[in-house]
Amino acid sequence: MALLEVNDLAVSYGQIEAVKGVSFSVDEGQVVAIVGANGAGKTTIMNTISGLLRARRGQISFAGQDITHWPTHRIVAAGIVQVAEGRAILANMSVAENLALGLAAAGSRRHEGGPTIATMMERFPILGQRSGLPAGQLSGGEQQMLAIARALLAQPRLLLMDEPSMGLAPLLVKQVFAIIAALKAEGRTILLVEQNALKALKLADYAYVLERGRVALSGTGAELAGNQDVARAYLGGL
Amino acid sequence: MNWQTLPQQLANGIFQGSIYALFALGYTLIFGVLDILNLAHAAIFMMTAVAAWYLIAGLGLNFVVALIIASIVGGLLGVLLDRVAFWRLRQQHAPHLSALISSIAMATIFEGMVVLLPTLGADADSRIIGADLHHFPAGSIPSGNLNFGTMLSLPPIKLLVLVVALLLMFGLQYMLRRTRLGREMRAVAESPKASALLGINIEAVFAKTFFIASALGGVAGVLYALTYNTLTSDMGNAVELKGLAAIILGGMGSIVGSVVGGFIIGLAEVLSIALGGSNWSDAVAFIVLFLMLLVRPNGLFGARATRTG
């Protein structure tokens, strides 16, 4: 059974239907990517899974439970943690406080031997060096690391990553994808939304190409990445 | 001005400032966390004082016990206020002006409700608190004065007000900085979306914020009513604008700022009276505010963070 199953999901902003009957699934330990042009509905899907937006139609199941109408905090408590687009760090709070909030989000899922703020600062040394600073004073790349570290402290069963490379310099994009590759190697389950399609496809076990709110294509990451027609038609000629 | 009376005037100013500060603490907390100006705060201030009056005059409770119970009543009224006046608007992402108007409506309703409450004792037929001036029974609070030398004499209740205001300010500051609830409140203040994604139950944080803020406003109401030994349905009006001036002066959303702002307004007001301008006492508070805003548009401790998401 898939860990996350999305069936016939439709989401609207007023009269405008942004997602029009999308179905996909994510198995435990898999990295699944959703790629597509700007406005294809990728972030809308992520935010609906997280409960920030309401589905107009369809069903979202997580670990066998129907979570379609759950509030966000309950979805997080169940183990779906999102690294949101634009990083969504709390700029006025210190790096350490941001991390503490991540740890608190683990709630009852927190287990012995799980990550601590100290282990996360070892993994991302820059966060240790900047722990007392307001998070808003970090550079874009450091903020993304903070957002990822904070999400990992919440001990997610499913990590949603929405455009983690957005707005970062090429060197930092490489760094962020290296982190995602490391997370994959650890066996984490990740749903990744990216405009940086080729990089995402190379990493993903399975991927969906989204076009104007619909799944236009799906396949293994390698298949889609190697398909020049797909690249030209859907991924901006990559 | 008679310099002999200066210590006494300063003490009076500090007392007056303590009341404004206590009131402003709750005001600024709701503004800081929810980004809305809750103009029903003054009505909660009054309703809590009415609750204390019932507990003291009706049940004969000690004023400290009554203060504690009444402040819980005030807190619960705050939670009710949030559910009735703000919750629905929040769900619909209504503009801030709607919340402001909604809070004015709730203030009017609360004041109307108090008028309908039965009175106690001989005048039980009269159901009007608003029209009558109500007093606490004699001996509700310790009487007499505490003398500090020849130039300063204070009733114990005024000293209590100052101590309570400072304790609650430090307590609130500690709660916001050091506890999980405080961290959650600051997170929600900064970004409700990011907070939700961190598993924070936003609605629960709003309810707790309203409870704490309204309990604080309620404590101010009870102490104000006890000190002046008067209770009317419009008693909050006098404090409301001064409280607003205090939080703007101190910097919207700043806890320390609201207390300092309260003291400055209280002192300015009392000193203006001492200098012979009793007709000017209300104006002085706003002149101080005006001058401060010219120099520091964000208030003394303001640099309010921009709210996102």
Q: Per-residue pLDDT tens, chain A, 238 aa: give them.
A: 799 999 999 999 988 999 999 999 999 999 999 998 888 899 999 999 999 999 999 999 999 999 999 999 999 999 999 999 887 899 999 999 999 999 999 988 888 788 999 999 999 999 999 999 999 999 999 999 999 999 999 999 999 999 999 989 999 999 999 999 999 999 999 999 998 888 999 999 999 999 999 999 999 998 888 877 777 766 655 4
Give per-residue pLDDT as tens, B292-309.
888 888 888 876 544 554
CATH superfamily, domain A1-79+157-238, is P-loop containing nucleotide triphosphate hydrolases (3.40.50.300)
B198 close to A (CB below 8 A)? yes
The tens-digit pLDDT sequence of chain B (309 residues) is: 667 778 888 888 898 899 999 999 998 999 888 888 899 999 999 999 999 988 998 888 999 999 999 999 999 999 999 999 999 999 888 888 999 999 999 999 998 888 777 766 555 444 445 456 677 887 778 777 888 777 788 888 888 888 998 899 899 989 999 999 999 999 999 999 999 999 999 999 999 999 999 999 999 999 999 988 888 888 898 899 899 999 999 988 888 899 899 999 999 988 888 777 777 777 888 888 888 888 888 888 876 544 554
Alpha-carbon torsion B206, B207, B212, B213, what sign? positive
Alpha-carbon distance A90 to nearest alpha carbon in chain B (angstroms): 7
pLDDT at B124: 46
Taking the C-alpha atoms of residue B8 and residue B148, their distance in angstroms, rounded to an integer, is 10
Residue of chain A whose Cα is closest to the Cα of B188? A90
Q: Nearest 5°: CA angle at A138, between A133 and A144?
A: 120
The fraction of chain B above a pLDDT of 90, given in percent, is 45
Domain that holds residue B201: 18-138+154-235
> Cβ of A90 and B180 within 8 Å?
no
Domain boundaries, chain A: 1-79+157-238, 89-155
| A215 DSSP β-pair partners | A210
> Cβ of A92 and B186 within 8 Å?
yes
> Cβ of A104 and B199 within 8 Å?
yes
Report helix, strand or coil for B138: coil
CA dist list (Å): A12 to A5, A216, B12: 20, 19, 60
Is B6 a member of any domain?
Answer: no
CA dist list (Å): B19 to A132, B35, B48, B247, B267: 35, 23, 14, 13, 12
Interface test with A, best of B198, B200, B304, B308 (most A CBs within 10 A): B198
Interface test with B, best of A44, A72, A89, A103 (most B CBs within 10 A): A72
> Cβ of A92 and B183 within 8 Å?
no
In this structure, how many other beta carbons lie within 10 angstroms of the beta carbon of residue A166?
17
Taking the C-alpha atoms of residue A227 and residue A216, their distance in angstroms, rounded to an integer, is 14
pLDDT at B10: 87
**Residue B155: closest CA among B265, B1, B8:** B8
Alpha-carbon distance B197 to nearest alpha carbon in chain A (angstroms): 6
Taking the C-alpha atoms of residue B31 and residue B253, their distance in angstroms, rounded to an integer, is 6
Report ipTM (2 d.p.).
0.92
| A160 DSSP β-pair partners | A82, A191
- Class of residue A172 by CB neighbours under 10 A (exposed 0-12, middle 13-18, buried 19+): middle
Q: Nearest 5°: CA angle at B187, between B185 and B193?
A: 115
B309 close to A (CB below 8 A)? yes
**H or E, element range at B140:** none
pLDDT at A238: 47
pLDDT at A193: 95
Q: Nearest 5°: CA angle at B86, between B83 and B88?
A: 80
Is B208 a member of any domain?
Answer: yes
B79 close to A (CB below 8 A)? no
> Cβ of B191 and A52 within 8 Å?
no
Q: How many independent structural domains does chain B possess? A: 1
**Which residues in chain A have Cβ-Cβ distances shorter than 8 Å to B203?**
71
Mean pLDDT of chain A: 92
Is B304 a member of any domain?
Answer: no
